[in-house]
Structure 1
Amino acid sequence: MAPSTPPLQVTVLGAGAVGCFYGGMLARAGHRVTLVGRPAHVDAVRREGLRMETRMFDEQVRLQGVIRAADAPPADVVLFCVKSMDTEGAGRELRATLRPDTLVLCLQNGVDNADRLRTVLPEHEVAAAVVYVATEMAGPGHLRHHGRGELVIEPARTADRVAQAFAAAGVPTEVSPDVRSALWFKLVLNSAYNAISAIAQKPYGECVPAPGIRQVMRDVVDECLAVAAAEGIRLPADPHAAVDKLVASMPSQLSSTAQDLARGKPTEIDFLNGHVVRRGEALGVPTPANRVLWALVKLVEQRGPTPA
């Protein structure tokens, strides 16, 4: 289908599961999308398109793929989807490819990526986005979508146009001035689920019913709320209720942290439970449950990939 307004030129930097879902949805709606990813993934996309196996459709979506950001055409918007630990490095790599009016939209886990990216892209517009989607890469060029897909975008000069493009492409999108609270709200959800799923190597629906897990999750959430309050953050809804409901909407989802551990890749745990621990230390708020989960994930990281 063709977009109702002139198509956007979109670059997806860090074409993993999140970037492929949102980039693929825009490409499917007629926007010009280029994925920047690893060679095997890019080769598969060039040959056959991106397979989007979603809850609504299963299609091969045609888009472009390149290995280096410098090889992507000048973009109206960059979907910045690299891992949190790579934010500054990827931002410096991206800097020379940006037009003055390009919007860089951070679709990353954690609460401070947009601020960190602004330090290396001071002359460009950077906006944070809160991502609510359950996805995984089932193989090179193959995205599997398990549920949801909403976006909340920070106000920016072209944010309304980008939000309209996403909405027309089937992605519920809101532009909100209170993105910081929304990012913290998502951090609470991630802190409750990601490490537990990672340590167990099980999806949410198998973790939550296990003995003692619900109480551990409540302890994690309570610590996150105490740190958020000390930071002056007012959360937009009841995190305990949201945590309880999430498993029903994503029972088959394996957390991104679990997927990283299974592949022997570094995780983003330092920017999830680890962030809560660091801010708790700085603010004098105890965070023992978050510290245990953070430390255990760091320990498992040292083991390497899970044997097949």
Structure 2
Amino acid sequence: MRIGIIGAGALGGTFAALLARAGHDVEVTARGSGLAAILADGIRLTGGFGDAHARVDAGEVLRVRPDLVLVCTKAQDAEAAISANAAVIDGVPVVIVQNGLDGVAIAERLLPRSSCMGVLSIIAANYTEPGVVRVTTRATSYLGRGDGPPDAECIRIAAILSDAVPVVAIGGFRGAQWSKLVVNMVNAVPTIVGRSVQEVIDDRRLRRVVTASMRETVRVGMARGVRFGAVQGLGDVRLRLFARLPLAIGQVLPWLMRVRMGDVPNLGSTQQSIRRGQPTEIDFLNGAVVREASVAGMDAPVNRALTALVHEVEQHGALPVKRVLELAPR
């Protein structure tokens, strides 16, 4: 199968290398030094899924109409990237592989003839050198759309992708997006203080802030009528219980996530963007919680403050730990 991958960063590079290794004909889009590196030496993948060196077609846009498209850009780049490739991909099944809540809806609006679905990936991968990706945590990804059970096409696409990397078709995808959003709350604090996710969670003071942002996210989701989907051991019952727990006890949730990560330093996708000198997708992570809270007539003060601090880091670099510690509820 010919598969187009828009955005060959951490996740896009991982999927591209593994799909090429599985025998698919892969074309990717990239820009700048990333594109130059891929054209010169392909994509090199190491870590959790083993080593792979994929020579793939690459350009700033897709040139050949594929049979399947994966959009793996950062959330803030999705609209421009899809629009730039629309002439080639409209009418082709499209899978949105990115954080946040809005990706599939954006694709459906821009590609009216395409069947659009989403993938939630818990794979942790570092992409700090052009054309080189290291998978630090191997994990299953989840594919679906809407609130109902997985349809036949979702099941078919999940099976195709599973030739290369574990992908499961799931029902209740919108609720699973919210569960993944809770997981993504581990991104902001490491970005602000310039530490790995593991180092942040190991620090009980910083772990308290991470826990507060996660609990606030769950409470906002509940106010929005969300039934949380099962992602990495998280589900509706467990997250609703977490939302009611005192902060001190709730810290077990990020701690369990940290144990699952292992000891290979995980920078988180947001911090990786900072290190590459690129804008982050914080407005689609913690910022999404703030917007959803507003719709529900609530405030989300922890996530609002974390969003502002990450934007400050985008301008000035990592901040003192005390700036984060001030956010922890008393």
> TM (normalized to structure 1)?
0.89
Give 1:244's aligned residue: 255
1:56 deviates by: 4.0
Give 1:152's aligned residue: 142
1:40 deviates by: 2.9
Check conservation: 1:103, 1:124, Cα contact below 8 A. Answer: yes
CA separation of 1:55 and 1:176: change in aligned 2, threshold 3 A: closer
**Which among 163, 166, 186 is matched to residue 168 of structure 1?**
163
Give 1:190's aligned residue: 184
Check conservation: 1:153, 1:175, Cα contact below 8 A. Answer: yes
Return the letter of the residue paired with 1:162.
I
Aligned equivalents of 2:103 and 2:133: distance in 1? Answer: 24
Aligned equivalents of 2:109 and 2:125: distance in 1? Answer: 30
Give 2:45's aligned residue: 52
Aligned equivalents of 2:153 and 2:179: distance in 1? Answer: 25
**Which among 93, 113, 118 is matched to residue 128 of structure 1?**
118
CA separation of 1:146 and 1:166: change in aligned 2, threshold 3 A: same
- Deviation by residue 1:253-302 (Cα, 9 ceiling, x = unmatched): 00111111223211111011111011112212231111111111111112
Check conservation: 2:70, 2:95, Cα contact below 8 A. Answer: yes
Give 2:147's aligned residue: none
Give 1:300's aligned residue: 313
The 3-state SS of whatever aligns with 2:278 is coil
Q: How many residues align?
A: 294
1:87-106 to 2 correspondence within 5 Å?
87-98=78-89, 100=91, 102-106=92-96
Structure 2 unaligned blocks of 5 or more: 145-149, 230-234, 243-251, 320-330
Check conservation: 1:88, 1:117, Cα contact below 8 A. Answer: yes
Structure 1 unaligned blocks of 5 or more: 1-7
1:43 deviates by: 3.2
Aligned equivalents of 1:176 and 1:280: distance in 2? Answer: 26
- Deviation by residue 1:114-133 (Cα, 9 ceiling, x = unmatched): 11221111221111111111
The 3-state SS of whatever aligns with 2:15 is helix
1:39 deviates by: 4.1
Give 1:3's aligned residue: none
Aligned equivalents of 2:130 and 2:207: distance in 1? Answer: 35
Check conservation: 1:195, 1:293, Cα contact below 8 A. Answer: yes
Aligned equivalents of 1:89 and 1:17: distance in 2? Answer: 19
Give 1:139's aligned residue: 129
- Identical positions, percent: 32
> TM (normalized to structure 2)?
0.83
Indicate whether 1:85 and 2:79 are aligned: no
Check conservation: 2:188, 2:282, Cα contact below 8 A. Answer: yes
